[in-house]
Amino acid sequence: MKIVAGSSSPMLAKNIARLMNMELADVSIKRFPDGECYVKFNEKIEHAVVVQNTYPDENLVELFIIQDALKRMNAKVDIVIPYYGYGRQDKVFEEGEAISAEKMAKLIEMDANHVILINPHKEHILKFFDIEAEICDGVPAIAEYFKEKVDAVIAPDKGALHMAEKASSIIGCDYDHFEKTRISGSEVRMEVKNMDVEGKRILILDDIISTGGTMAKAVELLKKRGASKIYAACVHGLFIGNADERIIQAGCDGLVATDTIESSYSMVSVAEEVVKLLKS
């Protein structure tokens, strides 16, 4: 078995290979001057574990081309998708829309035998795959990182409450979530549901940080309520535009993401959790 490092997650692929005591596949991945992707395996592969994001679109196309090259060698293909792009459009919210999360699954499964998704936006995305599909959870690794650093974990909304609950059980601390109340068409008020955060070291934990708006708002509020330290963490750090600056300027004492999307905030690796699934 060989680990195939797509362009999106070379460090994660390298760490997975190291922990599995395996080699990275010898593959050339290039871009033509017009941006189109070219893939060539320089060795015969019988079984591959491909590590590649489906975000942004160019990585998705690269994944398809890697898969095609592998299938032409009759290789068995496992795919680890660190960040499952298009996962947020997981149902028809309004008539006329696509279910992008399902469409991507249908395309990916055409040339794959097994897929591992790390914290997809919703668990039911797994059901869109007709091949073996599993979820890998990045929360334990984040929780380990924050052990003894925080007194409570708070989710920015109810959707992330299960993550806060899990992290708090590993850290051994309290958890809660923010409640959102719509004041007007454009104004939404956020408030911590039950917890008094004054003097406490708080970790705000979400699955995705995109524009940073949600996290910045949560940090601001905790600051107002007198939290002594405020950390912001996510599994998938997209950090669109100046998202990181927004969060830090709001008063965040530390910003942490995993290596599903590699950035200078990738202080935590999901590699061990991925390897546990690959070995099981």
* Catalytic residue IDs: 180
Nearer residue to ligand R5P within complex by CB, 114 or 177: 177
Stretch near ligand R5P under the rule CB under 6 A, chosen from 21-29, 125-133, 143-151, 155-163: 155-163
Smallest separation (angstroms) from ligand R5P to the CB of 236: 9
Nearer residue to ligand R5P within complex by CB, 97 or 198: 97
Q: Burial letters for 73-83: b for 16+ Cβ neighbours within 10 Å, e otherwise?
A: eebebbbbbbb
252 binds ligand R5P (CB under 6 A): no
Q: State the Cα torsion 126-127-133-136 to the nearest 10°.
A: 20
How far are the Cα atoms of 39, 69, 178, 220, 240 from residue 231, in angstroms, in the given order?
A: 40, 43, 15, 12, 19
| Member of 62, 111, 207, 259 binding ligand R5P (CB under 6 A) | 207
Stretch near ligand R5P under the rule CB under 6 A, chosen from 73-81, 111-119, 203-211, 257-265: 203-211
| Member of 7, 211, 229, 263 binding ligand R5P (CB under 6 A) | 211
Count CA within 13 A, CB hemisphere, residue 266: 17
Stretch near ligand R5P under the rule CB under 6 A, chosen from 162-170, 190-198, 200-208, 221-229: 200-208
| Member of 90, 111, 176, 206 binding ligand R5P (CB under 6 A) | 206
| Member of 156, 200, 205, 278 binding ligand R5P (CB under 6 A) | 156
159 binds ligand R5P (CB under 6 A): yes
Smallest separation (angstroms) from ligand R5P to the CB of 159: 5
209 binds ligand R5P (CB under 6 A): yes
Smallest separation (angstroms) from ligand R5P to the CB of 123: 13
| Member of 10, 56, 199, 213 binding ligand R5P (CB under 6 A) | 213
221 binds ligand R5P (CB under 6 A): no
Where does this chain bind ligand R5P (CB under 6 A)?
A: 156, 159-160, 206-215
